[in-house]
Structure 1
Amino acid sequence: MAAAAGSSPDLPRVTGRDVRDGLLARAEAARKAERFAEALGIYQHLLAADPRDDVAYRMQAITLADLGAAYRADELRRRQPADFADWQRDRIEGDRVARMIGWGMAYPENADDPNAELRRAYDALLELKARPDRTQWEQTRLRMDALTALNALGRYQETVDEYEALVREGVDLPAYAHGPAGDSYLALHRPEDAQEALEKAVALNPSDVDTRILLAYAYLEQERFDRALPMMRELVASQPAWIERAGVEMDQANWKRFRAEMAYGQMISFGDDNARAQEIIEPLVRIAPNRAGTQAAMGALMYRRGHPTQALERYDMALTLDPRERDAEIGRVSALYEIGEIDAAMDANRQVQSRYPKDLHAQRLQKEIWLRNGPMGRIGWVKGRNDAETAAGSPFGIEDHRFNFETWTPLLKNRWRVGIVGDTVDAHFQPDTVRYRRIGGALDYRHGKFGFRLSSYNVDEPNKDDAWTVDAGWFLSDTWTLRAQVAENDVDTSLQARRAGIQADSASLMASWRPNDLGAIDMRIKHLRYDDGNERDQLSAFGRWRLYTSPHLMIDGLGSLWLSRGSRDDAPYFNPSRDAMATVGVRFNHLIWRRYDAYLRQRLELQAGPYWQEGFGTKWVPSVAYRHEWRPALGHTFEYGVSWAKPVYDGGRERRIAFELAYRWGF
């Protein structure tokens, strides 16, 4: 006799109850061994023999749910609801909602409303929760599934509130409930609580790579690089690059390792070691160049390395691959700002804010835009004490002060700012004090690669006068910047010269070379023309290069070269006919603490080098500086410190101690 339609030829014909019962027992054993496909085949074989077999029908639906076919399982349940117990009904309906949540977190159907499917899934969950006939366990399960939905919808406080309620009630939570809670704690800037939740999730499911990555981020946000980075190294090492599959000629790429290695590289970059991060991420980009997230990660790294143009190229590549790549959309805004394309940046930000109105990364971007476009300024103060060995005294007097400020309006028409600027410089000589004080207005413009600033001042002391400065800048590339400045009544005129009633105009050319975040060289040529006919030329170069990088300590090597000459030998102020100085040094930059945008850094600089002055020979000049940089909140930064040096003037050494304080606001 031919087998019934849908039956398996490998299974015995169902000729009686004993054969049926034996097949049901065989299917149950397969289910217990988690061979669900085998069990499903047996149930379908039984139904082919007898479509009215309620046990086979019911178990077919339950097994489909086990295989993840929750929609099909619930469709079968609804056809014959009487065949299912309440707990079976609840479980299948719960599985369907859980599957809806999972699909809602996948690639959205509608880019303009990416959370539409997820909201529908959450609404379906709430509908099930509202039914009074659900079992207590399924009610609890729905609450746990709600954690995933709420977290994915960005409703982080609600996620945490529900999670903490479940914990208080003593519910034995599975790993998948701890994970969304940990992510929500991170979003709410509560990394200690996130760590506790994620450690529970990892303990329950150690093989979950993504949760272990999230746990590493929880350590990272507590500045525990010493725990996060070794953990990530171990995770990467634990994942083979390829997965062998029995009976298949080609191995399968292990994308869990890829994600772990990418996260490891990004975490290293967050510790300021961008060069090593690039060594890790660049090969990953070559492995998966068509992954939008990979290109976006490379763009973020290029931005941190000081290459906004290259970052923008990577972001555009990511958005070509996937127009809905959120990280690329957000990163692109900052890169456009850095290259001066403010109009395009504003348009891009409007799209980000409309597409991700409740996303925390988008909200942080908006704060950055407010700071970039908003008012900004700086106030600085320096006080120096000078003890000279010679009777002529120091060119800075016994004591000197400098106070300067600038405050700027918000950005106007994406190009302009108007500011109020001023300086006060004084030096106390024996027996008098010389003071230069000016205040004025300024106009600043930048668009694309070009920018200029015009400042005009009224001078109150030492005489009523005028002063002005014109600055222009040309941003040639991510690496090179050229600047020029012309000043009348230059603020840097020697106070000894002002004491004699002499002032100076100046012209300068500057170039900056910044190949990456590890180093830079700033070069300058300046010509000063004094009222007494003296022509003074200065040439200088200052460089730094990173010698050592760790998450909380960076060490830079420093170097400088200074050359100058004057055209007069009889000037009534310090005016070497020729002099030169070269220094080498080291800077220790230590992060004392950091909590998200707030931090406190300390810097120690040690420098020394020979100073030569024509007619007076060569002497070594040492200097030490210790400073703090304190940012209590984004947009507010304080710098303060003390410096000590033993410069030489006309062969006479002096000891100089200076105290400084500055505050800047805005971006």
Structure 2
Amino acid sequence: MSMLRPLLWFVLGALITQSVGAQSIGVSIADQQESPGQSDIPALLRAQNNYEQKPADNNTLLTYIATLRAARLSSVAYALAQQHRDSISADLLRELTVDYAAELTRLSLAPARSETERYRLADRALEIYDALLEANNEISVTKTTNHRIYFDRIQALHARKRMGEVVQSYEQLRAQNIVIPAYLLNEIGDAYLYLEQPEKAATLYQTSLITNAAAPRDRSDVIKEKIGRYYALQEQGRWTEAYELIETTYAEEPPWRRLPGVSQPLPNDSYLEVARTWAVAPLFHNDPRLALERLETLTESAPRDAGLKIELANTQRAYGLPRAAQITLKQAEALAPLNPDLLTAQAQTALSLQEWEQAQELVAFTQKHYPELKTTQHLQEDWATHEKWELLIGAQKTFSSDSPVSGSGEHALETTLYSPPIASNWRALVGAGQTNATFNDEPLRNRWVKGGAQWRAGNTTIEAGLISQRYGYGQKTGAYGNFEQKLSDTWTMGGALAWRTPATPLRALADNISTNSAQAWIRWTPNTYREWTFSVTPSRFSDGNRRVELRIYGKEPVKQWSTVRLDGEIEVSASSNTKENTPYYNPKADFGVLAGVRLTHLLEQRYESRLEHYVQLLGGSYSQKHFGTGPMAAIGYGISWRANHNLEISSSILGIRRPYDGKQEKELRLALNISLRF
């Protein structure tokens, strides 16, 4: 008994101060229901004294245990029963064991405890539940007195993030026509959402909100259910309904709360929880700029909230600002260095910045310490994708009316296969391709194979290789190299060199004319929706011709809705050549402008899967020296589907009307691109 007394007095002290704790969470004493623990303190003290005086008396022992149970001191009652196993019936001992496991389960759900401690408590509770079920095979799931074991076990499984078993237990109970208590519905909804079954999750959240509407509940539980339902609707593609739900929830939740007898308002933790979700919501509704603005405002008002900084960094990365995200995560690291969401965000940012070794260390750490978290599992999938082979396939077919560029029809195919990373930064590559076209009833063809290597580290990407071509004059060897240098989140520069490039016009190759070229470019991308690129490409043909090409491309957002985006596009190009009367299309000088709009519509998005299509309308003019100026027009349609991180397919059709040598020509271009990781 000497071992139990300090624990008992400690718990009694906690019970006496419970009313003070209730005020700290915003519940007045008058509004509280009197708990058994508070009302039974005198009875508990009497039972303790009687037991100390008559420790061998069985009735006194049973009375003391019953009083401890009434006071919700399950762990003390369980420990006392273990000391007197011979004096207690098997049924009572099992009930006390269930009480003790239930207390462990409740403690494992307490957010104030560390995750490691919560997992340890949940594991201990599950050991007890499983031992009870194994030792008592006669316990029937349909027996009312045993329902509690199954219900409490679901809560322990939820606390341990064993969501598959939560759903399995729930469905087994439903199969037996057992009514599930309303307090479990939100946790079962969490499990379905974790397992990417948002339809079932949304239904359970809604049922819980309706069923528990009249019951006295902690406001934070209601907010969690509404946030869970928001994400369930979001993942189903019910974007408007989801957005309205989070906007309404945010508008209804005050940032401050007042307690009876307290003059100063106190921060409302539930408001911060819903505000974080509300701030991030535009990111999933095609408006990351608004999400960024909201999160920056929230972060300024709560500068020591690590969770807000992590959300801000994730949004910055999604908005095309990984370096800004890295700085924000450093600030969050000073506040919560081992926060699992922080570690996951740092790993994702490292992948975006091509910091492979740091990413690998963080991936291994999160997998070791937080394998149950969904964010860890997503990170593992991203890293597994990074470690795979990558196959790129591009195909194009052009139908034209015997134009000087593509003849009466051209088709091209190119494939490139990259190896998994070698020594972190390197990838080997091989590829093959061919181009075919018919000019004046003469078929022309160029086939090539290539091999080389790619180096990616930090801000730099370099690729180089050798190319072997066959276009009617035996085997011709060429080479190429290109590089890309990230100067900041917004500026990127790059260049390329090619000796005997396969991009040489087919009509030039038919006359054994090859091309060497160089290119330099710079791109400004302040975010994922805006882009301006300028490039200059001088080329030298083996027949003595010198060509210089200039190109400016720009894209700016015009209007955005939840699933529709309208962008403006413009392309300006110019070129000059030093030689005339060549066997290939070679204007002395030309200048073209093509501008218009692209309307993109998101058809479906479910977790990693995404399907969208677009319509493109362009118009402009083309001027060619000696042939004057003529109009250009283009209309296009495209569709892209991303099944997951490993497979993406896009196709498009583009109709163009433009002049060549003063004569209007029509072209219809079909394109297909496939990216596969395996």
Provide TM-score, normalisation by structure 2. Answer: 0.85
Deviations 1:152-177 (A, max 9, x none): 32322211111122223333323321
Q: What is the CA–CA distance in structure 1 between the aligned matches of 2:334 and 2:300, rounded to whole Å? A: 17
1:442 corresponds to 2:452: yes
Q: Structure 1 residue 177 and structure 2 residue 207: aligned?
A: no
Q: 2:636 aligns with which of 595, 616, 625?
A: 625
Q: 1:531 is matched by which residue type in structure 2?
A: S
Distance 2:378 2:580 in 1: 59
Q: Give a deviation string over 1:251-305, Cα, whole Å, max 9, x none.
A: 1111112111211232321233211112222222223232222222112111111
Task: State the Cα deviation string for residues 333-361 of structure 1 (Å, max 9, x = none).
Answer: 12112212111111111111111234343
User: Residues of 2 paired with 1:137 and 1:90: CA distance?
Assistant: 15
Q: Counterparts of 1:400 and 1:595 in 2: how far apart (Å)? A: 37
CA contact (8 A) 1:312 1:335 kept: yes
Counterpart residue number, 2:418: 408
Q: 2:289 and 2:199 mapped to 1: Cα distance?
A: 30
Is the partner of 1:221 in helix, strand or coil? helix
For 1:101, the equivalent position in structure 2 comes to 105
Superposed CA offset, 1:40-96 (max 9, x none): 66644577799659999889756643xxx7656767999999999999998876554
Contact 1:375–1:408 (8 Å) recurs in 2: yes
The residue type equivalent to 1:608 in the other structure is: G
Aligned positions, number: 631
- Out of 482, 486, 499, the position equivalent to 1:475 is 486
Say whether residues 1:379 and 2:393 are aligned partners: yes
* Higher mean displacement: 550-559 or 330-339: 550-559
Deviations 1:8-31 (A, max 9, x none): xxxxxxxxxxxxxxxxxxxxxx99
The one of 203, 206, 212 equivalent to 2:226 is 212
Structure 2: how far apart are the matches of 1:604 and 1:124? 61
Q: Matched residues in 2 for 1:376 and 1:419: separation?
A: 9
- Contact 2:108–2:117 under 8 Å retained in 1: no
Residues 617 and 323 of structure 1: is their aligned pair in 2 closer, same or farther, counting only changes over 3 Å?
A: same
Query: In the superposition, relative to structure 1, how do residues 469 and 47 fare at CA in structure 2: closer, same or farther (>3 Å)?
Result: closer
The answer to which of 44-53 and 578-587 deviates more is 44-53
C-alpha distance in 1 between matches for 2:166 and 2:482: 53
Are 2:428 and 1:418 aligned? Answer: yes
Q: Does 1:282 align with 2:289?
A: no
Q: 1: CA distance between counterparts of 2:186 and 2:76? A: 28
Does residue 1:655 correspond to 2:666, yes or no? yes
Cα distance in 2, alignment partners of residues 111 and 41 from structure 1: 30
Which residue in the other structure is 1:541 paired with? 552
SS of structure 1 residue aligned to 2:401: strand
CA distance in 1, matches of 2:113, 2:275: 30
Distance (whole Å) between structure 2 residues aligned to residue 489 and residue 325 of structure 1: 53
- Residues 598-628 of structure 1: CA distance to partner in whole angstroms, max 9, x if unpaired? 2322122111112222232222211111122
Is the Cα–Cα contact under 8 Å of residues 583 and 608 in structure 1 kept in the other structure? yes
What is the letter of the counterpart of residue 184 of structure 1?
A
> What's 1:608 paired with?
619
2:123 is equivalent to residue 119 of structure 1:
yes
Aligned to 1:189: 196
**Secondary structure class of the residue paired with 1:189:** coil
What's the counterpart of residue 36 of structure 1?
34
Instruction: Tell me, in whole angstroms, the C-alpha distance in 2 between the residues paired with 1:33 and 1:254.
Output: 19
Q: State the partner residue of 2:23.
A: none
- For 2:326 and 2:170, the matched residues in 1 are separated by 40
Which position in structure 1 is the counterpart of 2:588? 577
Which residue identity does 1:445 align to in structure 2? W
- Counterparts of 1:303 and 1:501 in 2: how far apart (Å)? 48
One-letter amino acid of the structure 2 residue matched with residue 357 of structure 1: P
Instruction: Name the aligned partner's letter for residue 460 of structure 2.
Output: F
State the AA in 2 paired with 1:169: Q
| Change in 2 beyond 3 A, CA 1:489/1:157 | same
Counterpart of 2:156 (choices 144, 149, 158) is 149
Secondary structure of the equivalent of 2:236?
coil
Deviation, 1:556, is 1.5
Corresponding residue SS for 1:324: coil
Counterparts of residues 178-327 of structure 1 (less than 5 Å): 178-206=185-213, 208-327=222-341
Q: Residues 40 and 70 of structure 2 are in contact (CA less than 8 Å); yes or no, is this contact kept in structure 1?
A: no
- Counterparts of 2:351 and 2:239, CA distance in 1: 31
Question: What do the CA deviations read for 1:375-431 (whole angstroms, capped 9, x no partner)?
Answer: 10211111111125xxxx432211111111101111101111111123312221113
2:518 and 2:539 in contact (8 A); partners too: yes
Summarize the Cα distance change of 1:546–1:89 in structure 2 as closer, same or farther, 3 Å threshold.
farther
Which range moves more in the overlay, 255-264 or 74-83? 74-83
Q: Is the 8 A contact 1:624 1:643 kept in 2?
A: yes
SS at match of 1:259: helix
- Deviation at residue 462 of structure 1 after TM alignment: 3.2
Q: Secondary structure at the match of 1:627?
A: strand
Distance 1:109 1:486 in 2: 59
Letter in 1 for 2:322: P
- Structure 1, residues 491-538: CA drift from partner, whole Å, max 9, x if none? 222233333332221010011211112211122110011122221111
Quote the offset at 1:583 in angstroms: 2.0
- Aligned twin of 1:24: none
Q: Answer with 255-264 or 122-131: which moved more.
A: 122-131
Letter in 2 for 1:413: A
Report matched runs for 1:459-474 at 5 Å.
459-464=469-474, 465-474=476-485
Instruction: Report the alpha carbon displacement of residue 110 of structure 1 after superposing the two structures with TM.
Output: 7.7
Distance 1:537 1:31 in 2: 83
1:114–1:433 Cα change, 3 Å = farther
Q: Residue 19 of structure 1 aligns with which residue? A: none
Please point out which of 538, 548, 564 is paired with 1:527. 538
CA distance in 1, matches of 2:133, 2:211: 26
Q: How many Å separate the matches in 1 of 2:31 and 2:483?
A: 75
Consecutive unaligned residues of structure 1, counting only runs of 5 or more, are 1-5, 7-29
TM-score by length of 1: 0.86
Tell me, what secondary structure is at the counterpart of 2:503?
coil
Q: How far apart, in 2, do the equivalents of 1:447 and 1:335 lie?
A: 14
Question: Contact 1:386 / 1:394 at 8 angstroms: preserved in 2?
Answer: no
The Cα RMSD (Å) is 3.3
